[in-house]
Amino acid sequence: MNNREIIARRVAQEFEDGDFVNLGIGIPTLSTAYLPEGVNVVLHSENGHYNFGPLTCEEDKDPDSINASGELCVVRNGGVFFDSTVSFDIIRGGFIDKTVLGALQVDQEGNLANWKIPGRVVPGIGGGMDLVVGAKKVIIAMEYTAKGEKKILKKCTIPMTATGEVDMIITEKAVFERENGVLVLKETYPGVTVEEIRELTEAGFTVDENLKTMSI
Amino acid sequence: MNNREIIARRVAQEFEDGDFVNLGIGIPTLSTAYLPEGVNVVLHSENGHYNFGPLTCEEDKDPDSINASGELCVVRNGGVFFDSTVSFDIIRGGFIDKTVLGALQVDQEGNLANWKIPGRVVPGIGGGMDLVVGAKKVIIAMEYTAKGEKKILKKCTIPMTATGEVDMIITEKAVFERENGVLVLKETYPGVTVEEIRELTEAGFTVDENLKTMSI
Amino acid sequence: MAKIISIKEAMGMIQDGMSIMIAGFLAVGTPEKLVDALVEKNTKNHTLIAISTAYPNKGSGKLVVNKQIKKAIVSHIGTNPEAGRQYINDEMEIEFVPQGTLVERIRCGGFGMGGFLTPTGVGTEIEEGKQRISIDGKDYLLEKPLRADVSFIRAHKADKNGNLTYRKAARNSNVVMATAADITFVVADEIVEVGCLDQDEIMTPGIFVDYLVQG
Amino acid sequence: MAKIISIKEAMGMIQDGMSIMIAGFLAVGTPEKLVDALVEKNTKNHTLIAISTAYPNKGSGKLVVNKQIKKAIVSHIGTNPEAGRQYINDEMEIEFVPQGTLVERIRCGGFGMGGFLTPTGVGTEIEEGKQRISIDGKDYLLEKPLRADVSFIRAHKADKNGNLTYRKAARNSNVVMATAADITFVVADEIVEVGCLDQDEIMTPGIFVDYLVQG
C-alpha cells in the first residue's frame, strides 16, 4: 500500500453517513473509494452543486455538468444546482460537515499554508480559503514530509490560507487532532514510533494517553 | 377634479414607456389610471415580483399572488417572481427607474419624512427607506398642505425616511424639482400664483425662468 | 438532510424564550399549521423575526394576539392593530428594520457574514448605535447579521431530502429564513419523492432544511 | 427591458481599457461567441473579472493569450499557463481573490451595497490594505464591491424581455455578473417568446439584462 492509499483509507474512516463534504483534488478525493459499508457522503462542488459523482455511462456526458476540477460529472438524485453565491454561502455559512485538503505546511496553532510558494507561480486561491474558514471540520490529508522537509511546524513560514482552522491532520505515519488549541498525536502507523514522529515534526505536540495504532 | 386626481394625472405624465416603477399606495398607485396612450410601466412589488396588475377575472384569484399591499394580483406575461433579497437588490441596486411616494414632510435639502409621527403608533418602515435611497428618481406625490399645515419645509421636523433623496414634488398646486441641490418651482396649477405658493411654503425655492402652467 | 416529523415532535423542540423566524409576507408563505400549534402550545417570551406582524388572525400576528411575543424585529406592524396596542403600552418591544435591510441581515446570519454596508437609513433614526462607513465617498451603515433559534417555513413542494420550491409571491422571506435558524421547520403543500424536483429549479437546497413537518 | 442586437452591434460598444466580467467556471457558462468576437476586435488594456482565467483556448483565457488583459481579478489561474507566464513576467497584473469573496463582492456591486464582512482571509495576505472589523467577538474583513463596464453572460433560455434561465453547472457566476455591469450582454442557447418561461423558474429577471446578442 503506498502512502496515498494509506492516507486516503484513513481519511475515509472520518466520514459519517450523510455527511456533506467538500474534498480537494488528489488524496482527499481518492478517499471516497474507501468509504466504509453503509456510509455515503454528499459531495459539494464549489462551482455550484452537490451530490455529484463520476460519469457512469456515455449518455451522462454533458458539457454543462462539470465539478470544480473541470471534470464531467453527474449530479445524482437529491442533488441540486445553484449559483456561485449560494455555493459559497453554503461553505461560509457552516453547512459543510467536513472539508479535506492537502497542505504545504501546517502548524501547531492550526494555521494552514497551501496556496502560495514564494518565488513560484501561484495557481490561485480558488475556494480553499472559504472552505477552511467555513467548514465545521477541517481535515488536512498529506504526506508527512515533502522531499525530506518538515511540514508540521511551529509556525508556517510561507503565506497562510487561514489561521487556527485546522482540526485534524492525517498522514501516512500519524494522525493528529487539535484539542483545546493543542496538537495531540492520536495514532501512529504500525511500526512508526513516537520518537520517529518527534524527529520529523517541528511543531510541539502532546501524545494522547490512549495513543492508538492506525488501522487501515 | 379633486386634488387626488389632479396629482395622479400629473404624476402619470412623468412615466416613460417601459419604466420600472414602484408606487406607494393611494395617489401614486392611482396615477397608473392616467397613463398617456402608448405608455406602459412595469410595476415592481416589494414582496417579490414585477409586472403585476389587478385581477381581470375570477379565475385569476390565487391566494399566493398578492402585491405589497396584500391585494390579490396577477403577474402578467414577462413578469417574474423572486425572493425578498432579490426584490430589495433590485431596489438598492438602482434598477427601479422611478418611485412615487406620499410624504408627511419634505424639505429644501431633499429630505423626506413619511414613516413616523412622534407620539403616534408607527405602522412601520416597510420598503420605503430602501426605495427612496435606491430608485433612480424619487417623486413625492402629495397634497400641498395637511389641514392647513405646511409640508414643504426648510428642514423636516419629524423623523426622516432618507436624506437628500427627493428629486421632484408633485402637488395639486405646484410642481417642484431639485436641481443642483436647490428646490425649483417648475409649474403652478391654473389660477395659483407664485405668491400663494410662497405663502404656503416654508422651504426656500427658486422660480424656474420657464415657469409653466400644470396641464392635466 | 431533512427528517420528516410530526407537528407534535416539532413543538417538542420549542421552548419559552426562543427566537423564531416566521416566513411570509402578510401571511402569504407562512405555515399556518405551525403557527397554530405554537399558539396552542402557548410558549412565551419569544423574539419574533418576520417581515411584519401580519394580521391578528393570520400569520405571525396570531402569536402577538396570544401575547407570546416579547420582542418583534419587523419592518411593519400597520396591518395588526393589536401589535400597535402592545407596542404603545410597552407590552411588546419592537425593533423596526427597513425591509431590505431585514432580509439582508438574515442572509448574513445564515451565510456566515459579519454584516454588510447599506445606504438605507443613513441620516435617519435607523442609524442610531450603528457604525457609519464611507466607501469611495459614499456613506453606508454597517448592519449586523440576524439569526434565530428556529424558523417556520412554508414551501410549495418539498422532496424527502428537504429540497424546496415555492410558488409565486409565497417565496418572499422564506428563502433566507430557511438558512438562518438553528432548526428549520418546513411545512410543504406537497411532499414528493427524491428525484421528482428538477435539479435546476430547486429554490432552497435541502442542506439548509432540518425538518419537514407533516400535517 | 432587454434589446436584441447583433454581435457586431455589441462589439461596437466595447472600447480599449474597459473592465469586463466574463461569466463561467472553467469556461462552462461562458459565451464563447462574445469572447471570440472580442479577440477579433483586439481591444487592449482590459481589466478582466472572472472566476479564473480558464484555459488558453477556452473561455476568458483566450483574451489573456491574445494579450488583451492588463489586469485580472480572479480566484485562480492554474489552468492557464500563459496567464502564469504573463504574471511572473509582469506583463499582466493579477489580483487574487478567494472565490466566495469574489462572487459576493460582485453581488455587492450589483446591488448597491458598500461591502460585506467575511471571515475568509483574516490573518492572511488577503487582509493587506483591508479593514478588520470585530462583530460579537469574531473578526471579519471588510470587502468592497466590484463592478464592471460590461459583462458577458451565457444563458440557457432567454425570453425577449431578457428573463434568463441557466442549465446545470453553467449557472455559476452568471447570476451575479448579470447584475453588476453597466452593460450586460447575454448570449442564450435559445431565445423564446415572452411568456414561454415559467415565472417561478426565471433565474435572472430581465430587469438586469441590457442586450440579448444574436448569433
- Cα distance from A145 to chain C (closest Cα, Å)? 34
Counting as contact any 3 or more CB pairs under 8 A, the partners of C are A, B, D
pLDDT (tens digit, 9 = 90+) per residue, B189-200?
999 999 999 999
- Cα distance from B34 to chain C (closest Cα, Å)? 27
**Roughly how many angstroms between the first and final C-alpha of chain B, as a whole number?**
10
Phi first, then psi: what are they for C154, rounded to 5°? -105, 130
CB contact under 8 A, C26 and B66: yes
Closest CA to B174 of B135, B133, B203, B131: B203
- Record the cell numbers describing residue A62, joined without a space: 454533458
Flag whether residue C128 sits within 8 Å of chain B, measured between CB atoms. Answer: no
For the residues A33-58, what does the mean pLDDT come to? 96
Flag whether residue C101 sits within 8 Å of chain B, measured between CB atoms. Answer: yes
Tell me how many degrees the CA angle A168-A171-A175 measures, rounded to the nearest 5.
Answer: 45
- What residues of C are in contact with residue D140 (Cβ under 8 Å)? 113-115
Query: Does position C50 have pLDDT exceeding 90, yes or no?
Result: yes
Nearest to C202 among A80, A90, A134 (CB): A80
Amino acid at A69: S
Query: Does position D215 have pLDDT exceeding 80, yes or no?
Result: no
pLDDT (tens digit, 9 = 90+) per residue, B3-20?
999 999 999 999 999 999
Q: Which residues pair with D3 in a beta bridge?
A: D211
CA quadruple B185, B191, B195, B199: dihedral positive or negative? negative
Phi first, then psi: what are they for B201, rounded to 5°? -125, 125
**Distances A118 to A13, A38, A103, A123, A132 between C-alpha atoms, Å:** 35, 44, 15, 12, 21
pLDDT (tens digit, 9 = 90+) per residue, B167-183?
999 999 999 999 999 99
ipTM of the complex: 0.97
**Distances C192 to A90, B131, C144, C187, D6 between C-alpha atoms, Å:** 24, 39, 37, 13, 44
- What residues of A are in contact with residue C113 (Cβ under 8 Å)? 92
pLDDT (tens digit, 9 = 90+) per residue, A82-119?
999 999 999 999 999 999 999 999 999 999 999 999 98
Q: Which residues of A touch C (CB under 8 A)?
A: 18, 20, 42, 49-50, 75, 77-82, 86, 89-90, 92-95, 134
Query: Does position D159 have pLDDT exceeding 90, yes or no?
Result: yes
* CA D107 from centroid of its chain's CA atoms: 11
> From CA D23, how far away is CA D41, in angstroms rounded?
19
CB contact under 8 A, C116 and D113: yes
> From CA B11, how far away is CA B28, in angstroms rounded?
7
Report the pLDDT value the prediction gives residue A47, as an integer from 0 to 100. 98
Flag whether residue C37 sits within 8 Å of chain B, measured between CB atoms. Answer: no
- What residues of D are in contact with residue C168 (Cβ under 8 Å)? 199-200
Nearest to A66 among D28, D75, D99 (CB): D28
pLDDT (tens digit, 9 = 90+) per residue, B92-119?
999 999 999 999 999 999 999 999 999 8
Q: Is B97 helix (H, G, I), strand (E, B) or coil?
A: coil
CB contact under 8 A, C200 and D167: yes
Flag whether residue D101 sits within 8 Å of chain B, measured between CB atoms. Answer: no
Q: What is the DSSP letter of D175?
A: H
Report the pLDDT value the prediction gives residue D1, as an integer from 0 to 100. 76
- Cα distance from C146 to chain B (closest Cα, Å)? 14
CB contact under 8 A, D97 and A70: no
User: Which residue out of C172, C177, C190, C202 would a mutagenesis test of the B interface target, given it has the greatest number of B Cβ atoms within 10 Å?
Assistant: C172
> From CA B40, how far away is CA B32, in angstroms rounded?
9
Alpha carbon dihedral B191, B195, B201, B206, in 10-degree steps, equals: 100
For the residues A35-58, what does the mean pLDDT come to? 96
Closest CA to A172 of A113, A110, A214: A214
For the residues C19-28, what does the mean pLDDT come to? 98
Sequence-distant (6+) residues with CB within 8 A of B120 are none
Give the active site residues of A: 46
**Number of domains observed in the structure of chain B:** 1
For the residues C2-24, what does the mean pLDDT come to? 98
Closest CA to C155 of C17, C10, C13, C33: C33
Going by pLDDT thresholds of 50, 70 and 90, the confidence category of residue A216 is: confident
For the residues C76-89, what does the mean pLDDT come to? 97
Nearest to A75 among C113, C179, C199 (CB): C199
CB contact under 8 A, A127 and D171: no
> From CA C207, how far away is CA C110, in angstroms rounded?
12
CB contact under 8 A, B134 and C124: no
- What residues of B are in contact with residue D195 (Cβ under 8 Å)? 77-78
Higher per-residue pLDDT: A20 or B1: A20
For the residues C150-165, what does the mean pLDDT come to? 98
CA quadruple B28, B33, B37, B41: dihedral positive or negative? positive
> From CA D169, how far away is CA A73, in angstroms rounded?
10
Sequence-distant (6+) residues with CB within 8 A of C204 are C153, C155, C162, C163, C164, C165, C166, C174, C175, C178, C179
| Domains (range + CATH), chain C | 3-113+147-214 (3.40.1080.10)
Nearest to D208 among B18, B95, B134 (CB): B95
Sequence-distant (6+) residues with CB within 8 A of C17 are C44, C45, C46, C70
User: Which residue out of D199, D203, D208 would a mutagenesis test of the B interface target, given it has the greatest number of B Cβ atoms within 10 Å?
Assistant: D199
- What residues of C are in contact with residue D165 (Cβ under 8 Å)? 200
- Record the cell numbers describing residue A214, joined without a space: 492506525
- What residues of C are in contact with residue B111 (Cβ under 8 Å)? 123
Inspect the structure and tell me whether chains B and A have 3 or more CB pairs less than 8 Å apart: no
Nearest to C133 among D114, D119, D136 (CB): D114
Burial of A189 (0-12, 13-18, 19+ CB in 10 A): buried
CATH number at residue A40: 3.40.1080.10
Report the pLDDT value the prediction gives residue C1, as an integer from 0 to 100. 76
- What residues of D are in contact with residue B92 (Cβ under 8 Å)? 111-113
Report the pLDDT value the prediction gives residue C18, as an integer from 0 to 100. 98
> From CA D173, how far away is CA D74, in angstroms rounded?
12
- The H helix count followed by the E strand count for chain A is 5, 15
Closest CA to D15 of D37, D34, D41, D36: D41
Element containing residue D151 per DSSP (H, E): strand D148-159
Q: Is B12 helix (H, G, I), strand (E, B) or coil?
A: helix
Counting as contact any 3 or more CB pairs under 8 A, the partners of D are A, B, C
- What residues of A are in contact with residue D119 (Cβ under 8 Å)? 92, 133-134
CB contact under 8 A, B70 and C26: yes
Structural domain harbouring A36 = 3-213
- What residues of D are in contact with residue A62 (Cβ under 8 Å)? 168
- What residues of C are in contact with residue A22 (Cβ under 8 Å)? none
Q: Is D22 helix (H, G, I), strand (E, B) or coil?
A: strand
Nearest to D167 among A46, A64, A82 (CB): A64
Q: Is C69 helix (H, G, I), strand (E, B) or coil?
A: strand
Going by pLDDT thresholds of 50, 70 and 90, the confidence category of residue C140 is: very high
Number of A–C residue contacts, CB under 8 Å: 47
Flag whether residue D111 sits within 8 Å of chain B, measured between CB atoms. Answer: yes
Mean residue pLDDT of chain A comes to 97
Element containing residue B129 per DSSP (H, E): helix B128-134
> From CA C101, how far away is CA C124, in angstroms rounded?
14
CB contact under 8 A, C108 and D116: yes
pLDDT (tens digit, 9 = 90+) per residue, C100-117?
999 999 999 999 999 999
For the residues D19-36, what does the mean pLDDT come to? 98
Nearest residue of chain D to residue A161 (CA atoms): D124
- Cα distance from C198 to chain D (closest Cα, Å)? 10
CB contact under 8 A, C165 and D200: yes
Going by pLDDT thresholds of 50, 70 and 90, the confidence category of residue B216 is: confident
- What residues of A are in contact with residue C212 (Cβ under 8 Å)? none
Instruction: Please identify which residue in the block is written with the cell numbers 425538518.
Output: C211
For the residues C14-26, what does the mean pLDDT come to? 98
Going by pLDDT thresholds of 50, 70 and 90, the confidence category of residue A123 is: very high
Nearest to C104 among B46, B85, B134 (CB): B85
CB A184 within 8 A of CB A206: yes
Return the half-sphere exposure (C-beta side, CA atoms, 13 A cut-off) of residue B15.
30
Inspect the structure and tell me whether chains C and D have 3 or more CB pairs less than 8 Å apart: yes
Nearest to B93 among D110, D194, D195 (CB): D110
CB C172 within 8 A of CB C25: yes
pLDDT (tens digit, 9 = 90+) per residue, A167-203?
999 999 999 999 999 999 999 999 999 999 999 999 9
pLDDT (tens digit, 9 = 90+) per residue, D69-128?
999 999 999 999 999 999 999 999 999 999 999 999 999 999 999 999 999 999 999 999
Report the pLDDT value the prediction gives residue A97, as an integer from 0 to 100. 98
Number of B–C residue contacts, CB under 8 Å: 142
For the residues D58-66, what does the mean pLDDT come to? 98
B178-183: long-range pairs with CB below 8 Å, 24+: B178/B110, B181/B109, B181/B110, B182/B108, B182/B206, B183/B108, B183/B152
Indicate the pairing of strand A182-188 with strand A206-213.
Answer: parallel
Query: Does position C172 have pLDDT exceeding 90, yes or no?
Result: yes
Mean residue pLDDT of chain B comes to 97
Nearest residue of chain D to residue C140 (CA atoms): D114
